[in-house]
Every structure is written in C-alpha cells, then in structure tokens.
Structure 1
Amino acid sequence: MKLYEFPNGDTIHKYKKSIVILFKGQRNVLSTGPNNGGFTTDLSAVFNNDANPGSGMGIKLRADTYREHMDILAEEDLGLDSSACSGLLTAASMENAAISTLSYEDFSVTAITTAGVRSNGGRIGDPASWHEKSESSFDDTTPTGTINILLYINADLKKEAMASALVSCAEAKAAAMQELLISSRYSCGIATGTGTDGVIIIANAESNTHLTNAGKHSKLGELIGRTVITSIKEALRLQQGITTHSQHDIIRRMERFGVSEDALWDCYKETYRNLIRAEFTEILDHIRTEDRLVTYSSLYAHLLDQLSWGLLSFAECRIAAGNLLKLADLHPNPDYGSENIVQNYILAIAERIYHESVRPKQK
C-alpha cells in the first residue's frame, strides 16, 4: 500500500509489516541502523520493520548478527537491494505508525514514527544492562519498547547539517517524553527515550534548497521539533493508548518512584486489612484520577525530582512534601517518620482508601 508521495517522486509504502521509503534520485542519509548505517549518499531505500512474531513470543534473528538479519529481511521480505538500503527494527506495529509533515516556503519535513515505551523507557545515563565486546555479542535484539523515526527532509543538507538534524531529532524525542511524563523503567527519572531507539534522516541531495543548519534557531530545527514531537505522541496513542488524558493518574505520575497498585495494596493490607484486593482496587480506580490528587501528586513528583538533582535539600523537601499532602487533603503519617518521603505518600494514599471504604454510602 502506498501511503504518501513526495513532490520529488519518492514514495512511502507499507507492506510485509514494514514501512519503506523508496528514492527516485540521490539522497543523503544518516542512519543508526545496523545495515549501511552512518552517513551515506548511495542508498535507494530505507525501512522500519515490525519484527514482533506475536504476543508472548520473543523476537529471533535470522542470522548470527543484527546486520546480517537486516540484510536477509531486506532481500527476502522487502525485495530491496541489501547493499543499497538501511533499516530499523521494532516490536511496534506499522498499523500504529504516525506521519506528521510541515512545510515552510521552499522545503518540508516529514516524520514517520512508531513508538512503544511502557516496558523499555529509559533516561539517558540510567544504569546499563550490558557491555558490547563485539558485534556478535549484541545483547539487545529484542526491542520490546522502541521509538523509531524516519525523518524525511525535502531539502539538500550537507554532512554537518545532517548531524545537526540528528541532534534536534533527539531533543524533540526527549521533549515528547517530558510532555507526557513517561517514566524510566530503570531509574526514578523521566524517560528521554528507550534503550533501542533508532533514527534515519533523509535529505534530498537534488533539491534547489540548500540548508546548513538544523538547530533550534533555524526554521528547519523548528519543523524537525514539531513534526517529531507530534508523530511520537500520536504513535504512542495508537500503540499503547498513552495520551495526556491517560497520564492524568496518580500512579502514572508516581510510578517511577515505586508507587504502584501493588505497593499501595501491600501497605494497605498490612495497616488496615478490612478490604479484599478487588474492593481495594475498585476504590483506588475511583480516586486515582481525581483532579486534586493528580495535581498535588504531580508537584510531589517534581519535588522528588529536584531532590534527586540536588536543587533542593532533603530538609526543604520534607517540609514541602508534608504541605503538599495536606493540600491534597491527605495526611502525613506522624508515626512513620519523615526519612522516606515516598513511603509517606504511599501511607497517605492507603489512609485515603481506608476512609473511602468506611465512609457511609449515600442512599
């Protein structure tokens, strides 16, 4: 299926669980893909492939290395010349890909994105899970959560401008994560992406528009930022139902600090014990999106961020945390102590659930 055709004749297609961009002329390409990655000028196509074999099944490579797998995929499944293409791998469905395009005067920018972050979201600088010794030791070939971006710029960009575009694309991805408050799965931080993200940037070397800068002060940088942010948010909505509405939830705001339904239940059953799990969950589901709780839980989370960044002292945060709980109509537990700000939050939510459970029901 042809999804889109650019004014220069290049086309975007969807087939064999892949999105493929075919070139009609010379294109400058900067790719993080394992096959023909880096900066190249002699490719005829790029692609993004959904390698997910099905629910509960792990992704298996069809060769000894990631690069060889991609070459086989290109030749056998997509009908491409493996020496003249570069590709990315993901477990996200191509049915949930999002396309965002913007134009300004004599050029345009188009971002085609697939995204998933629930299981693999991470913040740059988080603890690593492996150390690469050689290509064959690659140990990250199951992209359970991945943001892949094909960024097509219908203008001529030189090498340095391509590198600048990659920087702007990465910043836009981090901005999208921040605007949705996506949790890292490996730290208490807000995610800046996932551990398996990929980007391929394409520029039209035959264009009469020659651009040399893709930074934030340039119109090109602005359009990269806007298209990438828009396409990532839409891809996350389609793939995992992540929206500003779904994130309006105290668990979503506090989960990166260890606040989960399980943690709240463990605290509740140890302290109160008057509800079974189903009854507890029903009350939690009722209160977890309350405006007041979400608002002050958000401020509570940012307080913890500033503590971890060294912008506020523990003493400052301890006092402010207690005040925020009171503003949320919650009550700090004086018997627990103040050494664990997160645990005080969990105790306060558990207490709120208890009061809801014993409140007389209106007739």
Structure 2
Amino acid sequence: MKLNLKLGLLLVVIFCYNVVPCFGSEQVKLYTLSTGDTVYREDTSVIISFEKPRNVLSTSRLNGGYRDNLKAVFNHDMKNATGVDGATYLDYLQGVAKHLGLNPARATGMGTAASMENVAIQSESYQTLTVTAIVTGGVEGNGGRAGDPATYFSPGKKTTLHKPGTINIMLVIDADIPSGTMTRALVTCTEAKTAALQELMAGSKYSNGLATGSGTDQTMVIANPGSPLYLEDAGKHSKLGELIGRTVKQAVKEALLRQTGLSPQKQHSVLRRMNRFGVTEETLYQQYLQEYGMIDKQRFSTSLRQLDKEPALLTGTSLYVHLLDQFQWQLLSGDELTQAGNDLLLLTAGKYHVSPPTLAVDELEPSVRAWSGLVVKVVADRVNQ
C-alpha cells in the first residue's frame, strides 16, 4: 500500500513537471488594463481574467474562433513540456487551464516556446479609446515568409503536427466593436507585427526573403462589449487601427529584444544582413581558403568580426542586399542589378583600397558570391598587412 502511494505521488510529480506547471504557484501582477482586468503571471503563464463579459477572437485550438462566453485568456510557455503533439495539444491546454484555476470550457490559451518573463506590454490611448498589446516572441529560430516552402500537409486529419507559437499576441481593445471589426483588427495587428519584423530586417529561416512572422504565431483580440465607446473600423485609416499598429509594433520589438536580443544594434552587422542568402562566417572562410590558401581560422574570424560592423562595409552590404531583394521581386531588371551591383562593388572596394570583384551574370547566386568575394578580399588585405 505504501509502495503504491509513493508510486502514485511520483507519477503526479512527473506529470506536473512534464505537462503542467507545479502546484502552489505565486501570482505576479503585471498590469491593470483600462477595462479593469488584471494581467498577471503565474508559473510559466500570463493570464487575463475577465471582471466582466468580453468578446474574444482567438486562433487557439482551445475554444478558438469568436467567443462571447469566456472568462479568461492565457499565454503559456511550454518549451519544457514533453510528449505533446497534435493529438495531445488540446488536452495539454485544458490541463494548463485547470491548473491555473480556470474553467477549460470558458478559457482560451496559446502555447509558446518564449519565456513569460520576457513579456512586453504596450498601451496607447486617444480620448476614451485605449488599446493594449501584450506580446511574447522570438523569430530567429522559426522566422518565415508567407509563401515559403511548407513542411507538412494533412488533409482530413484533425490531429496535425503541433508546434508551439513563437510570436503570441494578446490585443486588448477597450471599446465595443462588432465581430467583423474584430476580424479587421486581427488583420491590422498582423500587418503591424510584419512591419516590426521588416523594420528589424529579420530574415526567414526557410528562404532568402524577409520574415513576415514565425511559422507558429498566434493571436487573440479581446474587446469590451460593455464600453460606451462603439467603433466599426479597425483599418489603418481609423484611430483604432493606428493605435493597434503602434502598440503591436512596439510590443513585438520589445518582446524580441527581451527574448533573443534582436534589435537594430544587433542587426548592424554585415553577417546578419547577408545570412538569409546563405552567407556565414564558415562560408566566407571556405571561400577564403579556395581563393587565397590556408589561414588560421581564428585569425580569419578575428579580422572578419572587426570588419563586420564597420560603416563603409555595412552600408555597402545593406544597399547591395536591397538590390538583390528588388531583383527577386522583379522591381529591377537583370541589367539594372548588374550595373548597380558593379557600381557598389567598385565604390566599396575603393574605400578599402582593394580591386573589386566583377558581377557579370544577372543571377542571384553569382551576385551573392561576388559580394562575398569582396568581403573575403578585404579580410585577406587586412591579415596580410
């Protein structure tokens, strides 16, 4: 009997550790919304419990879609969970809700691999309207561009592959808005997230394009039907749309900074600007070996890292990368790419007093290799001085 009791307790502990946060957790108040609802953190979740009726539009598997009968929403860090897949993900979210003291039938939640300690909250107001964005996220491991190659297709299957969300957004609008306007708010919110990623020049991990989000982003829009302020437009021409754009962009940038350090300063790098085209320290080192012969890798790396943030090379790289983007988007012809690319190669090479590589073919791969060749040539000149 004692053995069975000990075994049962052990199984509870294992389940608690692997599936839901452990019991006896402390609630930490993070923010009081203009609606009167409190945003708080408990264990590895950020929760909003509703004081009064709220309308919610959610992308969640748990009570997702449009709902007007929910009592709470949550965002949960599940990176330490084990054994969770498409077949068990809904059960997992229900278990998290129960642990948090929420009724699983009256809550909706999102899973993520981002830490709740890195949550960003941004709020802005105009007259009696207040909009608040509550965001966790990372994009450097799972960033993707709309239209990138997919990884699975499961027609007719309800239990598809599950991955926890990366950029998760709770958007709280302290106004009474109809369900169609909530959907429009979701569109504006998504545009704002993408604008934040574009302004950071965050690259896709699945193509050489700029990321428009991660592959697993989730969003909730929460509106206040009890508000005396009634609005029917959440597009970019409306003040509501403006506040959505401003709060979401700011919160997404702050969340990415907190989670992975992604920032304008971090992106101020030749290697990071060229990374989405397959250019890395290792590929440059191999190109150096092919063109200039053996060099100690540490010596090469030291010289490359010194060059990495130099304004002359960085600004030239930034302009060259934009040429490559516009060529791929068919905004520049092959002849225009070749002419402007050679002009930039000549200009930047002149600043470092080396002879420029020549771009002779209006194709992406030779164009990337030409600029890589310039970087390698500057490194070679430095190490041989």
Give me the TM-score of the superposition, normalised by structure 2: 0.88
Alignment partner, residue 20 of structure 2:
none
* Conservation of the 8 A alpha-carbon contact between 1:180 and 1:243: yes
* Conservation of the 8 A alpha-carbon contact between 1:157 and 1:211: yes
Read off the aligned partner of 1:19 and give its amino acid letter. V
**TM superposition shift of 1:62:** 7.8
Deviation per CA, 1:305-357: give whole Å up to 9, x if none: 111111111121012111111222264435x8535100111111111100010
Distance 1:142 1:217 in 2: 33
Matched, 1:235 2:259: no
Distance 1:142 1:109 in 2: 26
Q: What is the 5 A alignment of 1:1-363?
A: 1-53=28-80, 59-61=82-84, 64-75=87-98, 77-143=99-165, 146-329=166-349, 331-334=355-358, 337-338=360-361, 340-359=366-385
* Conservation of the 8 A alpha-carbon contact between 1:187 and 1:256: yes
Read off the aligned partner of 1:42 and give its amino acid letter. N
Q: Which stretch has the larger CA shift, 313-322 or 286-295?
A: 313-322
* Conservation of the 8 A alpha-carbon contact between 2:85 and 2:162: no
**TM superposition shift of 1:274:** 4.1
Alignment partner, residue 22 of structure 2:
none
CA RMSD of aligned residues (A): 1.6
Please say which structure displays the higher CA radius of gyration: 2
Read off the aligned partner of 2:333 and give its amino acid letter. S
SS of equivalent to 2:265: coil
Deviation per CA, 1:227-279: give whole Å up to 9, x if none: 00000101111110111111010111111111111111110122223421111
* Conservation of the 8 A alpha-carbon contact between 1:119 and 1:185: yes
- Over 3 Å off, 4+ runs: 134-137, 336-339
Unaligned ranges ≥5, structure 2: 1-27
SS of equivalent to 1:139: coil
* Conservation of the 8 A alpha-carbon contact between 2:49 and 2:71: yes
SS of equivalent to 1:245: helix
Alignment CA distance shift 1:130-1:63 (3 Å): closer
SS of equivalent to 1:283: helix
Read off the aligned partner of 2:212 and give its amino acid letter. T
Read off the aligned partner of 2:151 and give its amino acid letter. S
**TM superposition shift of 1:64:** 2.8
Distance 2:177 2:60 in 1: 20
Give me the TM-score of the superposition, normalised by structure 1: 0.93
**TM superposition shift of 1:182:** 0.2
Identity %: 43
* Conservation of the 8 A alpha-carbon contact between 1:63 and 1:69: no
Alignment CA distance shift 1:331-1:51 (3 Å): farther
* Conservation of the 8 A alpha-carbon contact between 1:325 and 1:331: no
